[in-house]
């Protein structure tokens, strides 16, 4: 692992760009190699075995690009495949996910007694957040709900408008959420609807979204291993397994600027 090597970030598609954006802002000297598995998106409905298979292959691709750290910037893949990817990569490079940093932040916040969790079907069905929270904060009550429509709604550009607010309201009216004091946005698309979620709860519920929490943790990890880049030398690369114009245009929603997507046929061999 060299300081000049890039950070590898992957997701089922383009939602993970919210995390890549936060990493890029907090670590401006780092080069990012991003991989979005647009061939298989959405991961939310896929089996654990399928997501593990995809994730292992993508992790090998990032390792082949000499990445010094691999970040799984997808909650669904973090839930299904973090352990297997970590075991597979061994001590070659550190592997991080978007779940643990958020769980630790929630557990450390002693003013939270009941937390709500929303995410894809895969993430919610795995129970990973509840399980990890129970270990760190046994007294914390958690309630979760799969909000399957939200990721595709956001990708279609529906956020901060009356349609998105109606969909969000109907999910958040879930009775178990009536007395929560915190909410985890357990999907990399959801930072775009953070304001709408917060306003549904009249801003009385603390919202935990992963992007900045995770970027800070990546920064700490690089510092701890003494592999932070001193000087920016190379531009980011954003690869996708299936390229469309529409994906490229949608990147702006998640990365705040339009970026160029490069097609890499990882599944073509």
Catalytic positions, please?
Answer: 74, 187
Given 12, 147, 164, 241, the residue binding ligand DGL (CB under 6 A): 12
Site for ligand DGL in 148-187 (CB under 6 A): 151, 187
Q: What are the residues whose beta carbons fall under 8 Å from the beta carbon of 81, sequence distance 6 or more?
A: 48, 51, 52, 54, 55, 56, 72
**209 lies in the site for ligand DGL, by CB under 6 A:** no
Q: Judged by CB under 6 A, does residue 144 bind ligand DGL? A: no
Rounded to 5 degrees, φ, ψ at 244 are -140, 155
Q: Which is nearer to ligand DGL, 75 or 142 (CB)?
A: 75
Enumerate residues 6+ apart whose C-beta is below 8 A from 68: 1, 2, 3, 5, 6, 7, 93, 222, 227
Contact with ligand DGL (CB under 6 A) among 31, 38, 55, 75 = 75
Instruction: Select from 36, 44, 101, 116 the one that contacts ligand DGL (CB under 6 A).
Output: 44
Contact region for ligand DGL (CB under 6 A) — 8-16, 28-36, 60-68, 215-223?
A: 8-16
Q: How far is CA 51 from CA 122, 123, 159, 230, in A?
A: 10, 12, 27, 35
> Considering Cα of 89, then 91, then 96, then 99, what sign does the dihedral take?
positive
Q: Is 74 in the site for ligand DGL (CB under 6 A)?
A: yes
Per CB under 6 A, the segment of 13-21, 64-72, 102-110, 236-244 that binds ligand DGL is 13-21
CB–CB of 129/117 below 8 Å? yes
41 is a contact residue toward ligand DGL (CB under 6 A):
yes
According to the binding rule CB under 6 A, does residue 43 interact with ligand DGL?
yes
The residues, any chain, with a CB within 8 Å of residue 136's CB and separated by 6 or more, are 103, 104, 107
Binding site for ligand DGL (CB under 6 A): 11-13, 15-16, 41-44, 74-76, 119-120, 123, 151, 187-189
């Amino acid at each position: 692992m060299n300081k000049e090597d890039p950070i590898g970030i992957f997701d089922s598609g383009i939602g993970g760009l919210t995390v890549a954006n936060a990493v890029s802002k907090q670590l401006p000297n780092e080069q990012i190699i991003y991989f979005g598995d647009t061939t298989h998106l959405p991961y939310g409905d896929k089996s654990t075995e399928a997501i593990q298979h995809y994730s292992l292959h993508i992790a090998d691709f990032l390792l082949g690009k000499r990445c010094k750290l691999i970040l799984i910037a997808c909650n669904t893949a973090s839930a299904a495949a973090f352990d297997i990817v970590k075991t597979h990569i061994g001590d070659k490079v550190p592997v991080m996910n978007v779940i643990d940093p958020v769980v630790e932040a929630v557990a450390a916040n002693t003013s939270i007694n009941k937390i709500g969790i929303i995410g894809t079907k895969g993430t919610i069905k795995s129970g990973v957040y509840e399980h990890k929270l129970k270990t760190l904060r046994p007294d914390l009550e958690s309630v979760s709900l799969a909000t399957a429509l939200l990721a595709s709604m956001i990708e279609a550009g529906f956020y901060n408008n009356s349609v998105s607010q109606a969909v969000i309201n109907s999910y958040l009216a879930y009775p178990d959420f009536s007395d929560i004091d915190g909410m985890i946005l357990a999907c990399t698309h959801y930072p775009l609807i953070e304001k709408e979620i917060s306003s549904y709860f009249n801003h009385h519920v603390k919202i935990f979204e992963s992007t900045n929490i995770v970027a800070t943790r990546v920064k700490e990890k690089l510092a701890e291993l003494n592999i932070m880049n001193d000087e920016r030398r190379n531009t980011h690369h954003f690869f996708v397994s299936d390229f469309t114009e529409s994906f490229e245009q949608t990147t702006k929603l998640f990365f705040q600027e339009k970026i160029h997507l490069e097609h890499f046929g990882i599944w073509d061999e």
